[in-house]
Amino acid sequence: MAALSGKNDYRILLVGDISKAFSDIATIEGPCCQVCRNVGDAIEAAGRENFRVIGVVISDSLSKSGSALKRLREVAAGAKIVLLAQMHQEPAAIELITGGLESANIADDYLICPVPLSRFRELAAPAAVEVAVKESVSIDAGMEMKIKELEKLATEDELTGLKSRRYIWEFCKQVIERAKQGGGRVTLLVFDIDNFKHYNDVYGHSAGDEILRQAARLMRRCCRPHDVVGRIGGDEFSVIFWNEPRIRQGGPQAERRSTAAEHPKDAIFIAKRLRRELQKTEFDSLGPEGKGVLTISGGLASFPRDGSTIQELFVQADNALLEAKRSGKNRIYLVGEPESDIADIK
C-alpha cells in the first residue's frame, strides 16, 4: 500500500492501477489522497481511516466478481464508491452498480477514464469547499450543465439516444486492443434501412425520425446488454458484438481458434433476430400499412479474420453492405463467406 502522506486526514482513496485513470496523474499529491495497489489493501486502509470517496479502477478480474468490492462497501460504509472504467469496461461498471449479480449495488457511480483528477476531487470536497472551488474557477451551475450536455453530445446520438459514431469508433478500437491481448472476439455489424429516402419523401421527415427512434429501441431489445449499438449517420447504424469478460468460455486459446475459424454465431443469431423483429413491428408513422414493410441491408465483419483494426473492419463491413444492396436488399452479408447471406446459415 502506497500512501501519499503519513497524516490521518485522507478523504480520497484510489485503488488499483491508476496510471490510465487520470489525465493529470502527476498532480496526485498532498495529504488528502491515498493509493492502494489492490482491493485487499484498500479494505485494510478503510478499516483504519475515514474516506469520503473511494475510486476503484476496474480490471477484468474485478469485473468477474464483486465479492471484494462488497467487502470494501461494508468496511467503508460512509464512503462513496466510484468505479473508474475504460470505455470498453462501461457495461461491467453498469452491471456492478445496477445489474443482476449478487454484488450489484456495491458502488455508487462510475466515470469513464481518463478523467481530470480535479473533477474526481470535487466528489470528496465538503459542500462549503465545493462551492469555494466552483467560485474560484468561475463555473456556475448553468455552465456545468452545459459542459455535461457537451460531454453527452460527444458520445450519444441526439435523435435516437444510441451511441455516437465517435463513441463507436473509440470503443471498437479499445475492444480490439483488448482482444489482441486476451484472445477475445469482436464483430462489427453495419447496416442501414432499405429505401429510407422513400419514407422521408412520402411520409415526411418527422415520420422518418420516428422510424429511426423506433428502430433504435428495437435494436437495443435484440442485442445483449454489453453489446454497443450506435447510429453512425443518417439511417446507418452499427453494433459491436464482443465477448464481455464474465461470459468467456474455454479460455483464451480456445477463443483464438474459434475466432479465427468462423464468424461468432451469437452475432449472426442476433442479426437474424433483428430482421425478424422488424418484420413483426408496426411502424405507426407509416399508417396502417406500416407493419412488416421495413427491411435492412448490412454487412458483418469479424476480428481477426476480416481485419485487425477498426478501419479494416469498417471497410470490410461497408463493402459487404454494398454487396447486399446490389443483390436485392433485405439481407445481411458476411465477409468472406461463399454463402454470404446470414439467412442461408443454419
Separation between Cα atoms, residue 98 and residue 69, nearest integer Å: 14
Residues 192 and 293 in one domain: yes
What is the structure's pLDDT at 188? 95
Q: For a pLDDT cut of 70, what percent of the chain falls above it?
A: 73
Of 93, 122, 139, which residue is a domain's last? Answer: 139
Q: What φ, ψ does residue 232 adopt, rounded to 5°?
A: -105, 5
What are the pLDDT digits (tens) for 220-273? 999 988 899 999 999 999 999 987 654 444 444 444 434 433 457 888 899 889
Cis ω on the peptide bond leading into residue 304 (within 30° of 0)? yes
Residues 255 and 120 in one domain: no
Separation between Cα atoms, residue 240 and residue 102, nearest integer Å: 27
Residues 173 and 299 in one domain: yes
Q: Is residue 146 part of a domain?
A: no
Separation between Cα atoms, residue 125 and residue 127, nearest integer Å: 6
Other residues' Cβ atoms within 10 Å of the Cβ of residue 127: 7
Separation between Cα atoms, residue 163 and residue 153, nearest integer Å: 9
Task: Tell me the average pLDDT across 325-342.
Answer: 79
What is the structure's pLDDT at 60? 67
Indicate which CATH number applies to the domain containing 306: 3.30.70.270
Tell me the C-alpha to C-alpha distance, in Å, between residue 156 and each of 55, 160, 256, 279: 25, 8, 32, 27
Task: Tell me the average pLDDT across 164-177.
Answer: 90
Among the ranges given (71-75, 119-123, 336-340), the one the predictor scored with the smallest mean pLDDT: 336-340
Contacts of 336-342 with C-beta under 8 Å, sequence gap 24+, read 336/305, 336/306, 337/263, 342/268, 342/271, 342/272, 342/300
Q: Is the pLDDT of residue 81 over 80?
A: yes
Separation between Cα atoms, residue 81 and residue 109, nearest integer Å: 7
What are the pLDDT digits (tens) for 54-79? 999 988 666 555 688 888 988 988 89
Indicate which CATH number applies to the domain containing 102: 3.40.50.2300
Q: Is residue 150 part of a domain?
A: no
Highest mean pLDDT among 91-95, 173-177, 250-254, 291-295: 173-177
Task: Tell me the average pLDDT across 84-108.
Answer: 75
What is the structure's pLDDT at 244? 61
Please count the structural domains in the chain. Answer: 2
What radius of gyration do the chain's Cα atoms show?
23
Q: Is residue 149 part of a domain?
A: no
Residues 123 and 234 in one domain: no
What is the structure's pLDDT at 91? 78
Residues 83 and 204 in one domain: no
| 336 close to 344: Cβ distance less than 8 angstroms | no
Residues 208 and 134 in one domain: no
Q: Is the pLDDT of residue 88 over 50?
A: yes
| 275 close to 281: Cβ distance less than 8 angstroms | no
What is the structure's pLDDT at 141? 53
268 lies in which domain range?
165-344
Among the ranges given (95-99, 149-153, 331-335), the one the predictor scored with the smallest mean pLDDT: 149-153
What is the structure's pLDDT at 298? 93
Residues 267 and 188 in one domain: yes
Among the ranges given (158-167, 217-226, 328-337), the one the predictor scored with the smallest mean pLDDT: 328-337
Confidence of residue 5 (pLDDT cuts 50, 70, 90): very low
Separation between Cα atoms, residue 295 and residue 276, nearest integer Å: 9
What is the structure's pLDDT at 125? 64
Separation between Cα atoms, residue 47 and residue 74, nearest integer Å: 10
Q: Is residue 295 part of a domain?
A: yes
| Average predicted confidence (pLDDT) for the chain | 79
Residues 179 and 134 in one domain: no
Among the ranges given (133-147, 180-194, 326-340), the one the predictor scored with the smallest mean pLDDT: 133-147
Q: Is residue 122 part of a domain?
A: yes
| 87 close to 174: Cβ distance less than 8 angstroms | yes
What are the pLDDT digits (tens) for 12-68? 999 998 888 887 776 666 567 888 989 999 999 999 888 989 999 988 666 555 688
